[in-house]
Amino acid sequence: MLDNTPNQIVLYCRAGFEKECAAEISDCAARVGVSGYVKARPDDGYVTYVCHQSGAALQVMERVAFEELMFARQWFAAAPMLDNLPPTDRVSALLESARALGPFDDLSVEHLDTNNGKEMSRLCRKISHPLRAALKKQGLLKASAKQQLHVLFLDGSCAFVGVSQQGNRSPWAMGVPRLKMPREAPSRATLKLDEAILWFLQGDRQHELMKAGTLAVDLGAAPGGWTWQLVRRGLYVDAVDNGPMDKVLMDSGMVAHVRGDAYTYQPKGNVSWLVCDIADKPARTADMVARWASKGWCRRAIFNLKLPMKQRYNAVQECREIIESGLAAAGLTAELRFKQLYHDREEVTGFLSIES
């Protein structure tokens, strides 16, 4: 009889960051008392954490919040991988594997975000409709269920089948938000801040914390990709950069261009938001964020950390310690999170919110 017990966690990540994703899930599993080992290959775009105890994959996902993970785009607890799927009837094999895991509130048939993985996109579309129909016929799709079924095709004959829990996964299929590049935005970097706001300020938080009419500072602003996102949400922005800002953006009347060095700039008064996307050493940016927060210059911040080629996971942890130490010295408590977003490259995005 086929063993469908979820014994591993499949995590999607940016290709080239498998090592960091593996280190992070290993630390998380150890923290909640689950032992296992990682299987990962460079540039595959995913890793698996195989648990020594049967069923422990679900235990990890119950005890670890997905939003804590920096390098994982999406995750699910998977049964042993299916291989040798019959090309004439893949649906029946997938249905058999899914039956022991159901019911489900939704289905996502997925591929990896790599060149090889994208070749599976046509097959995913082809399989999705008949598999969904088969699940409905078996009574396995129910709106009241609180878990989603994932099917990940590695190639035409191999797939993972597993589940993720409602409220503890990425809200986007494969962890990839579908954002359009605005024609009016001055640079493609605008998508990074757009995604960061969607990720860190989910639900009503964007309306609550990013209020129109308040003041923000954008350090390293030129030509204005991040400033544009703030302006379109109704914020006034002091854009700090020695480089030129986009003329149309400046004509909005909501931007003051301050020519100067981003790291030495000091605001004339306290502001609601600090945003920063500067190509410099991550520790320098972390120190700057800690300084702004501890001095009360800003209440919240979104910032990018450009990571080194090696020890990238450790570099983020060191930056976390810098900021937390600065907050502790000032007697402040705050929400501090990091995420490698889909539109990030060799970097992660940080979010800081000072608690009242």
Phi/psi at 179 (nearest 5 deg)?
Answer: -105, 135
* Burial (CB count <10 Å: 0-12, 13-18, 19+), residue 172: middle
Nearest alpha carbon to residue 255 among 264, 265, 246: 246
pLDDT at 94: 95
36-40 vs 334-339, strand pairing mode: unpaired
Question: Out of 3.90.1150.10, 3.30.800.10, 3.30.428.10, 3.30.70.2810, which CATH number does the structure's domain 8-175 have?
Answer: 3.30.70.2810
Give helix 190-200 / helix 225-232 axis angle, nearest 10°. 50
Contacts of 162 (CB under 8 A, 6+ apart): 6, 10, 76, 77, 78, 79, 101, 149, 150, 152
Same CATH topology for 8-175 and 190-354? Answer: no
Rounded to whole angstroms, the Cα distance separating 167 from 66 reads: 9
Nearest alpha carbon to residue 16 among 41, 49, 48, 52: 41
Active site residues: 306
Tell me the pTM: 0.94
Amino acid identity for residue 97 in this structure: S
Can you list the residues of the chain whose pLDDT is less than 50? 1-2
Q: What is the CATH superfamily name and number for domain 190-354?
A: Vaccinia Virus protein VP39 (3.40.50.150)
Rounded to whole angstroms, the Cα distance separating 148 from 105 reads: 6
Amino acid identity for residue 333 in this structure: T
Instruction: Evaluate whether 241 touches 269 at the Cβ level (below 8 Å).
Output: no
Kindly list the domain boundaries of the chain, sorted by start residue: 8-175, 190-354
pLDDT at 1: 42
pLDDT at 3: 59
Instruction: Evaluate whether 210 touches 197 at the Cβ level (below 8 Å).
Output: yes
pLDDT at 102: 86
Buried-state track 205-230, b at ≥16 Cβ within 10 A, e below 16: eeeebbeeebbbbbbbbbbbbbbbbb
Phi/psi at 215 (nearest 5 deg)?
Answer: -105, 135
Rounded to whole angstroms, the Cα distance separating 256 from 298 reads: 17
